[in-house]
């Protein structure tokens, strides 16, 4: 069962080969067995999950339900989930039981999916290694001495270790794609505004976007079908007609299915900075795309080199504002001893936030302060526009942009923890996409030294269905995405 994709699981449920309760129990048992070692989940609540599974079985018995009914799904602990501890990886929310569901959680519930558990993550989604979590680091199932990537590292480790059939994540600067690459998964960041941010704890609101983390592009399409949709409670949610994101899969001629597709190769993705063993796998995957009929053209994103610098002004600026609400008064952590109101704020925040979060709040407050706003924040916003323009220009010459997702395979736990700039550079290929608000997907493209590497496909706005299809074609012609880490089969 654990090797089946979502469509096959749905068929097994419909054929009564297994019930949702049995499937949920199977995963709960695997979590009980392997999670102590991986630390991928922050909370599991078997009673609550099994109650949802029983309800799903009833729906299935009456012939109702959709593609995800009865299937257990893990959710990043950034999504508020009614009755569940929702920590965002922080001590600040270590006692917060959400009174309501995020839009994403509600959509999965309405589809009849089972909430299997809440996954570990970098504190407030700030990080690329899952090491900033108050709940401790997550281990990479391919090598327990390595990081799984971040910030959606718990979701990625859970799915690749077969502790969940699929999961959700969020991506502000790469947090779905980078852990997907480091764990051998397929992960998609949709166009900004496609998935509602309601109830998704805010990090940098103009960049944050939720998306699927799964074992294949076809699974991602099914998840995105459930996640996407207009929501008036999120002012940046886009009111567009609903789409079937799997509509392009398996369409068209079989031997050269990608004939006519123009793949853009930006020179900035193929220069220095990427580990040669990763670059070799990316080159081989591009060769495979040519064999499938695609054509490649050279393109340029001249301002991409500025993306990390611009991001580390904009994201902390927004974070400093978003995190102001955690003051020890209304909910979350409150210092046990304090003198007056200011002392309550100060001590609660000093004790409730970890070092990386404090660093971002300080940077953000600084770049927004009088006298620095123009020099840093406004300047970063201008660079953001230039980067979006670069992509617009590139998409006049190609349909899809291809390159590496991450400049290296999984690094060792602790290796970059003391050097924030080195850590920030692990998102060098992913951040520009968030600044421009574009959709992108990472998919497995091979192994170097026993560790997986990811290929990134970036599309123009609203081309998710096309991107999923382009990823799917590669997955039909390769088997990297089917590989399972030893000890978890």
DSSP calls for 273-284? TS-HHHHHHHHH
R_g of the chain computed on alpha carbons = 21
Confirm or reject binding of residue 408 to ligand GLN (CB under 6 A): no
Confirm or reject binding of residue 131 to ligand GLN (CB under 6 A): no
Minimum distance of ligand GLN from residue 195's CB (angstroms) = 14
Give the active site residue among 19, 20, 76, 139.
Answer: 76
Among 120, 172, 246, 405, binds ligand GLN (CB under 6 A): 172
Confirm or reject binding of residue 101 to ligand GLN (CB under 6 A): no
Confirm or reject binding of residue 193 to ligand GLN (CB under 6 A): no
Residues 148-167, one symbol each (x = binds ligand GLN by CB under 6 A, - = not), give: ---x----------------
Q: What is the DSSP letter of 358?
A: H
Among 67, 89, 173, 439, binds ligand GLN (CB under 6 A): 173
Complex with ligand GLN: residue 281 or 428, whichever CB lies closer: 428
Closest CA to 165 of 126, 111, 214: 214
Confirm or reject binding of residue 471 to ligand GLN (CB under 6 A): no
Query: φ, ψ for residue 334 (rounded to 5)?
Result: -130, 130
Complex with ligand GLN: residue 5 or 427, whichever CB lies closer: 427
Give the active site residue among 151, 237, 320, 406.
Answer: 151
Taking each helix axis from N to C terminus, what angle separates 307-322 and 355-367, rounded to the nearest 10 degrees? 100
133 is catalytic: no
Residues 202-241 that bind ligand GLN (CB under 6 A): 203
Number of residues located near ligand GLN, criterion CB under 6 A: 13
Q: Which two tokens stand for residue 215?
A: 């074992």
Confirm or reject binding of residue 125 to ligand GLN (CB under 6 A): yes
Complex with ligand GLN: residue 128 or 237, whichever CB lies closer: 128
Coil/strand/helix, residue 209: strand
175 is catalytic: yes
Confirm or reject binding of residue 88 to ligand GLN (CB under 6 A): no
Coil/strand/helix, residue 119: strand
Complex with ligand GLN: residue 178 or 184, whichever CB lies closer: 178
43 is catalytic: no
Sole window of 137-145, 168-176, 285-293, 462-470 interacting with ligand GLN (rule: CB under 6 A)? 168-176
Among 67, 72, 127, 264, binds ligand GLN (CB under 6 A): 127
Confirm or reject binding of residue 130 to ligand GLN (CB under 6 A): no
Contact of 39 with 136, CB cutoff 8 Å: yes
Among 126, 224, 380, 428, binds ligand GLN (CB under 6 A): 126
Residues 287-346 that bind ligand GLN (CB under 6 A): 315
Complex with ligand GLN: residue 158 or 308, whichever CB lies closer: 308
Coil/strand/helix, residue 60: helix
Complex with ligand GLN: residue 78 or 292, whichever CB lies closer: 78
DSSP calls for 125-191? G--SSSTT-TT-PPPBTTBTTB---SSSHHHHHHHHTTSSS-EEEEESSSTTHHHHHHHT-EEEEPP
Complex with ligand GLN: residue 203 or 391, whichever CB lies closer: 203
Q: Which two tokens stand for residue 129?
A: 């290694």
Among 174, 193, 354, 452, binds ligand GLN (CB under 6 A): 174
Complex with ligand GLN: residue 175 or 268, whichever CB lies closer: 175
Contact of 227 with 197, CB cutoff 8 Å: no
Pairing of strands 41-43, 114-119: antiparallel
Q: Which two tokens stand for residue 395?
A: 């998409």
Minimum distance of ligand GLN from residue 392's CB (angstroms) = 23
Q: Within 10 A of 283 (CB to CB), how many other CB atoms are there?
A: 14
Give the active site residue among 175, 216, 320, 426.
Answer: 175
The burial class, CB within 10 Å (0-12 / 13-18 / 19+), for 272 is exposed
Confirm or reject binding of residue 38 to ligand GLN (CB under 6 A): no
Phi-psi region of 377 (alpha: psi -120 to 50; beta: other; left: phi over 0): alpha
Minimum distance of ligand GLN from residue 360's CB (angstroms) = 8
Cα dist from 23 to 72, 128, 218, whole Å = 8, 32, 20
Give the H or E element holding residue 115: strand 114-119
Termini Cα distance of the chain = 10
Among 101, 390, 399, 427, binds ligand GLN (CB under 6 A): 427
Confirm or reject binding of residue 188 to ligand GLN (CB under 6 A): no
Binding site for ligand GLN (CB under 6 A): 125-128, 151, 171-175, 203, 315, 427
* Residues with catalytic roles: 76, 151, 175
């Amino acid at each position: 069962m654990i090797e089946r994709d979502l469509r096959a699981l749905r068929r097994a449920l419909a054929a009564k080969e297994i019930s949702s309760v049995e499937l949920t129990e199977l995963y709960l048992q695997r979590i009980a067995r392997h999670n102590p070692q991986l630390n991928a989940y922050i909370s599991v609540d078997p009673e609550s999950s099994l109650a949802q599974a029983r309800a799903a079985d009833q729906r299935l018995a009456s012939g109702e339900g959709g593609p995800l009914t009865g299937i257990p799904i893990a959710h990043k602990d950034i999504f508020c989930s009614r009755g569940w501890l929702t920590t965002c990886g922080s001590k600040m929310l270590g006692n917060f039981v959400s009174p309501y569901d995020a839009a994403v959680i509600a959509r999965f519930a309405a589809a009849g999916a089972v909430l299997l558990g809440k996954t570990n993550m970098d504190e407030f989604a700030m990080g690329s290694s899952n090491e900033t979590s108050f709940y401790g680091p997550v281990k990479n199932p391919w090598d327990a001495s390595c990081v799984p990537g971040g910030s959606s590292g718990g979701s990625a480790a859970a799915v690749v270790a077969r502790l969940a059939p699929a999961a959700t994540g969020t991506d502000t600067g790469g947090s779905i794609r980078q852990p997907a690459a480091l764990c051998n998964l397929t992960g998609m960041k949709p166009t900004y505004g496609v998935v509602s941010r309601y109830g998704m704890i805010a990090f940098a609101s103009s960049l944050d976007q939720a998306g699927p983390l799964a074992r294949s592009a076809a699974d991602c399409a099914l998840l995105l079908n459930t996640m996407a949709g207009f929501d008036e409670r999120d002012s940046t949610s886009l009111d567009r007609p609903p789409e079937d994101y799997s509509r392009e899969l398996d369409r068209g001629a079989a031997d050269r299915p990608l004939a006519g597709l123009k793949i853009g190769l930006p020179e900035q993705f193929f220069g220095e900075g990427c580990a040669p063993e990763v670059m070799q796998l990316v080159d081989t995957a591009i060769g495979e795309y040519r064999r499938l009929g695609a054509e490649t053209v050279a393109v340029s994103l001249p301002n991409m080199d500025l993306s990390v610098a611009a991001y580390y002004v904009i994201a902390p600026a927004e974070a400093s504002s978003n995190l102001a609400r955690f003051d020890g008064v209304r909910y979350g952590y409150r210092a046990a001893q304090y003198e007056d109101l200011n002392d309550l704020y100060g001590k609660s925040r000093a004790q409730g936030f970890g070092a990386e979060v404090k660093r971002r709040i300080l940077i953000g407050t600084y770049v927004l302060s009088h006298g620095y706003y123009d020099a840093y924040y406004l300047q970063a916003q201008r660079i953001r526009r230039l980067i979006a323009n670069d992509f617009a220009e590139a998409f006049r010459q190609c349909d899809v942009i291809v390159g590496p997702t991450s400049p290296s395979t999984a690094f060792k736990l602790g290796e970059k923890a003391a050097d924030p700039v080195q850590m920030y550079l692990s998102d060098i290929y992913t951040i520009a996409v968030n600044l421009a608000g574009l959709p992108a997907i990472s998919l497995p493209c091979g192994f170097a030294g026993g560790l997986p590497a990811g290929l990134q496909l970036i599309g123009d706005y609203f081309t998710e269905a096309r991107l999923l299809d382009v990823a799917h074609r590669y997955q039909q012609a390769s088997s990297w995405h089917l590989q399972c880490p030893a000890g978890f089969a």
